[in-house]
Amino acid sequence: MRSIIDILILVVILSGLIGKSAISKFTYQNKNSKTEQLILEHVHALPEVKEWFITAKRSKPGLILNQPGSRSKYYSVQVGISNNDMFRTNYYLFIDPKNFSIYFWDELDTASSLITLQQWRHWRNNPGFNKMHKYKNGKLVIL
């Protein structure tokens, strides 16, 4: 009877350790890539990401790095939370590996465009930014 309890305790401890390591603070596709490490360091240094890690602390915040695809030259980084063995993306950032410029994917823009960090910082507090919109002549137009 004692050995069954020991086994159950061991299973609970191991499952907790596995669950915690599934999505870490940084998730690398290729841990040996200096470029990928630099990209994640640049993203994690952003004030918005630092704040996200503090405010979402109880929900296991994390970053997932995705390599460029056949149609894109940018790496993408998903910023989100890990709950119940599932990663929920809050927003995407795209990084140019040549100069480490960072862009925000504005998925509510009718063109689903990438905007600069400066544009994102300017527009994100506008109430219309969280509704379907487009940019016209440097202005946010709500649809």
* Structure confidence by residue, pLDDT tens digits, 131-143: 898 888 878 888 8
Identify whether the C-beta of residue 94 lies closer than 8 Å to the C-beta of residue 114.
yes
Those residues whose C-beta lies under 8 Å from the C-beta of residue 18, and which sit 6 or more positions away, are none
Report DSSP state, residue 60: -
**Range of the structural domain that residue 77 is part of:** 24-100
In angstroms and rounded to an integer, the radius of gyration of the C-alpha atoms of the chain is 19
Residue 143 lies in a domain: yes
| 8 A C-beta contact, residue 83 and residue 23 | no
- Tell me how far apart the alpha carbons of residues 102 and 112 are, in angstroms, rounded to a whole number: 16
pLDDT of residue 32: 52
Domains identified in the chain, total number: 2
Q: Kindly report the pTM of this predicted structure.
A: 0.73
Same domain, residue pair 121 and 140:
yes
Q: Same domain, yes or no, for 69 and 112? A: no
Q: Is residue 71 part of a domain?
A: yes
Q: Is 122 a member of any domain? A: yes
Report residue 96's pLDDT band, with 50, 70 and 90 as the boundaries: very high
Domain shared by 124 and 86, yes or no: no
Residues 56 and 112 in one domain: no
